[in-house]
Amino acid sequence: MTSLSSLCPDIVLIGAGIMSSTLAALLRELDPSLSMVMFETLADCGQESSYAWNNAGTGHAGNCELNYTPQRADGSVDISKALAVNTEFDLSRQLWAHWVRAGRIADPAAFVQPCPHISLVWGAENMAFLKARYEAMVAHHCFADMEYTDDPAVIAHWAPLAMAGRDTTQPVAATRIKEGTDVNFGSLTHALTASLKTDRNVSIHYNHRVTGLTRTEDGRWRVTATDTENGHATTVLTRFVFIGAGGNALPLLQKSGIPEATQYAGFPVSGLWLRCTAPTITRQHHAKVYGKAPVGSPPMSVPHLDTRVIDGKSCLLFGPYAGFSTKFLKSGSWTDYFRSITTKNIIPALTAGKDNLDLLDYLVKQVIQTKEARFRALLDFYPNARPEDWSKVVAGQRVQIIRPDSGLHGKLRFGTELVKNADRSLVAVLGASPGASIAASVALQVVQGCFPERLVEGDWLPRLRQVFPAYGVDLTQDAAACATLRRDTAQVLGIASET
């Protein structure tokens, strides 16, 4: 092992996906003098969950995801989560627009495209829910542009493939927000890392797996990374570590030994997509069409037919079809899950499993599902689909959070969570959905939660307000500020919808 004691960066980032690249780029905006080292196990950035084919690229904004708007017992619809996700995406738009204006990102069209977001349902009960959802959402300025229809001809105009060949006796309804987007988070990650590489204070090391993460007597972190090609080990010392390693964040967090992480466990979930690249088909569909998950199924099961724009070409994805894998990353090991079980988290993991037997049953059924059954699910969204036009694609690996709830009882969570130690010198991102879409929000939370003194005593606060023009403004309450912000960022990013 070679210890580079002279290499003492201010920041170490583990993982070179959208989370780490976004935080590194934001920190550089706030303090260009900060020295940063980024370690990535793979040969390039953004190759796991950030990779374009590994996610739906929805740029989650709460527009069409029906699981974000649960129906209460009295029939009303709770839109609070949709509002939170919606305005988190506004943070992304502000950050991306700032980077475009500053020349950090040359061409926004390389990673973000306008793409309507549609919710489509059928059957009287689901239609009643969608109408109640629409009425609750359209009354709020954040969703004021939402459209609703139960006219098959209008839906056919919005999403032709979804209606051609459909049973005309089946009642259908849909909502649409034209100002949705399709986001290639892999392309964005590459743009950010390319910009970071031009900074002499930033060093990015690919093919380097972090194998050691320990605390020194003086309070710094000793981070050891081993070159996966030649076995050479490098050690650096730092005052701050960010773990943005996707599914591998949990094992790294456990390696750190911080007490805040001892009872956390993870539940890995794999997935599949069906993909169509035939231009004669893809040119007929330009939208992300989300449906309603079957009763009793988990949030990850919400089916959707998505337009994707990847490397300048339009394609369609349908899914996801969930499954179970003991890997924590697509490039990981089948032993990942088993090695993550400890004497401290096994009881939370077992109790969470006991409470989610329906999820386990669902995953088993998904794993044994035939290709014919998978294709039948597609027919609900594209009745005229032909099997020969579609191929199977393995989605990114997700690790859901199991965290202590009360005592040793564990609770399975389907969100994204930051876990940091008491002195705020180490923080990790755990969880999955909505994942990449809230990278800007995660980066801002890290800045606020781990560097509060720089916001109070330093010059970071005025710089944050330059990066995020609406910083400190509650966009769910200030309709004028929300409208102005969205108009300005849409213009800069080139995502204003056609009239």
- Out of 57-66, 371-380, 426-435, pick the least confident: 426-435
Mean pLDDT of 161-185: 95
Mean pLDDT of 156-184: 95
Beta strands 241-243 and 426-431 are: parallel
Mean pLDDT of 309-338: 88
pLDDT digits (tens, 9 = 90+) for 441-454: 999 999 999 999 99
Is pLDDT above 90 for 407?
no
Is pLDDT above 70 for 1?
no
Beta strands (DSSP E) in 387-443 are 391-394, 398-406, 409-413, 416-420, 426-431
- Higher-scoring residue by pLDDT: 400, 162: 162
> In which band, very low, low, confident or very high, does the pLDDT at 78 lie, cut at 50, 70 and 90?
very high
- Out of 127-141, 298-312, 420-434, pick the least confident: 298-312
Alpha-carbon Rg for the chain in angstroms: 23
pLDDT digits (tens, 9 = 90+) for 267-284: 888 888 999 999 999 999
Is pLDDT above 70 for 499?
no
Let me know: does 236 contact 4? Beta carbons within 8 Å. Answer: yes
Tell me which residue of 450, 3, 449, 17 sits closest to 223, measured CA to CA.
3
Is pLDDT above 90 for 76?
yes
Let me know: does 62 contact 83? Beta carbons within 8 Å. Answer: yes
Tokens of 57: 């690229």
Tokens of 436: 């990449």
> In which band, very low, low, confident or very high, does the pLDDT at 301 lie, cut at 50, 70 and 90?
low
Nearest-10 crossing angle of helices 18-30, 460-467:
120
- The terminus-to-terminus CA distance of the chain in angstroms comes to 62
> In which band, very low, low, confident or very high, does the pLDDT at 6 lie, cut at 50, 70 and 90?
very low
Is pLDDT above 70 for 39?
yes
- SS3 category, 429: strand
- Amino acid at position 246, single letter: G
Mean pLDDT of 339-345: 90
d(CA 304, CA 57) in angstroms, rounded, equals: 12
Percent of the chain with pLDDT over 90: 71
Tokens of 321: 């079809």
Supply the pLDDT for residue 370: 83
Tell me which residue of 265, 402, 230, 228 sits closest to 342, measured CA to CA.
265
Please tell me whether the peptide bond between 434 and the residue prior to it is cis, using omega within 30 degrees of 0: yes
- Higher-scoring residue by pLDDT: 400, 9: 9
> In which band, very low, low, confident or very high, does the pLDDT at 115 lie, cut at 50, 70 and 90?
very high
- Out of 141-145, 150-154, 260-264, 446-450, pick the least confident: 260-264
Tell me which residue of 226, 135, 114 sits closest to 181, measured CA to CA.
114
> In which band, very low, low, confident or very high, does the pLDDT at 403 lie, cut at 50, 70 and 90?
confident
Supply the pLDDT for residue 482: 97
Is pLDDT above 80 for 231?
yes
> In which band, very low, low, confident or very high, does the pLDDT at 410 lie, cut at 50, 70 and 90?
confident
- Higher-scoring residue by pLDDT: 89, 408: 89
> In which band, very low, low, confident or very high, does the pLDDT at 112 lie, cut at 50, 70 and 90?
very high
Strongest mean pLDDT among 1-15, 155-169, 265-279, 348-362? 155-169
Is pLDDT above 70 for 379?
yes
Tell me which residue of 139, 144, 138, 176 sits closest to 157, measured CA to CA.
176
Mean pLDDT of the chain: 91
> In which band, very low, low, confident or very high, does the pLDDT at 353 lie, cut at 50, 70 and 90?
confident
- Out of 234-238, 311-315, 360-364, pick the least confident: 360-364
Structure pTM? 0.93
